[in-house]
Amino acid sequence: MSSKTSIREEMLAAVPKLRAFAISLSGNVDRADDLVQETLLKALANIDSFEPGTNMPAWLFTILRNLFRSEYRKRKREVEDSDGSYAESLTSPPEQMSKLELQEFRVALAKLPEEQREALILVGASGFSYEETAKICGCAVGTIKSRVNRARTHLAEILSIDSADDLGPDTSIRAIVVNNRR
């Protein structure tokens, strides 16, 4: 197997995580997939700048994030659905209750400022360390820690503020947030 092939296989293996991140950035599955494809092509075009044996996913995430910021932000602003209605278009197979909770969570997440959202996703979902996340986002570790903390606080607030809506009284996040505030 050529080293080129093994690098491509490593890239392919990172696709599911890249998609998950791209969906949370762009708020749209189709656009996320385009973003992932551009990322792979750009990575292959710049493969010489990748040092074999270093963190391939982190490298790809950095490329994806930069692509998103340079090309997609304007487009995103044009079609932004700040009410999080994109979340409703995402289908999720599990049982009804968890689907409802997850949807509510997605909508809340979509309301976070972008920098907080990406930091929270990278640390809390993608599984990167604070240090790796700081590299991906091109900022200090302390900045990432504070963004993640603000994101969590912000999310808890959003989920609590929304507690009067019609999604039902007993989703676990809301119950905990509301209890915590009494």
| Under rule CB under 8 A, residue 33 binds other proteins | yes
Calpha distance 97→179 (Å, rounded): 20
Lookup result for tokens 């360390």: 129
Distance, in Å, from the CA atom of 73 to the CA atom of 25, rounded to the nearest integer, reads 9
* Spatial distance between the Cα atoms of 162 and 85, rounded to a whole number of angstroms: 15
Q: Quick one: 82 or 96, whose CB is closer to other proteins?
A: 96
49 part of the interface to other proteins, by CB under 8 A: no
| Candidate segments 48-56, 62-70, 73-81, 95-103, binder of other proteins by CB under 8 A | 95-103
Whole-Å CA distances, 92 to 14, 84, 88, 100, 154: 21, 16, 10, 10, 25
DSSP character at residue 167: T
d(CA 157, CA 112): 11
Asked if residue 161 binds other proteins (CB under 8 A), the reply is: no
The reply to whether 46 sits near other proteins by the rule CB under 8 A is: no
CA-to-CA separations, 30 to 22, 35, 83, in angstroms, rounded: 10, 9, 19
In angstroms, give the least distance from the CB of 108 to other proteins. Answer: 9
Most distant pair of Cα atoms in the chain: their distance = 62
**Cβ 75 to other proteins, closest distance in Å?**
20
> Applying CB under 8 A, which of residues 25, 35, 40, 136 lies at the interface with other proteins?
40
With CB under 8 A as the contact rule, which of the stretches 18-26, 49-57, 59-67, 134-142 interacts with other proteins? Answer: 18-26
Task: For the beta carbon of residue 50, count every other beta carbon within 10 angstroms.
Answer: 18
Per CB under 8 A, the segment of 50-58, 71-79, 116-124, 130-138 that binds other proteins is 116-124
Per CB under 8 A, does 111 bind other proteins? no
Among 56, 139, 141, 156, binds other proteins (CB under 8 A): 156
Handedness of CA 101, 105, 106, 108 (dihedral sign): positive
Residue numbers at the binding site for other proteins (CB under 8 A): 4-5, 8-9, 11-12, 15-17, 19-20, 23-24, 33, 36-37, 40-41, 44, 92-98, 101-102, 105-106, 109, 120-121, 124-126, 152-153, 155-156, 168, 170, 172-173, 175-177, 179-182
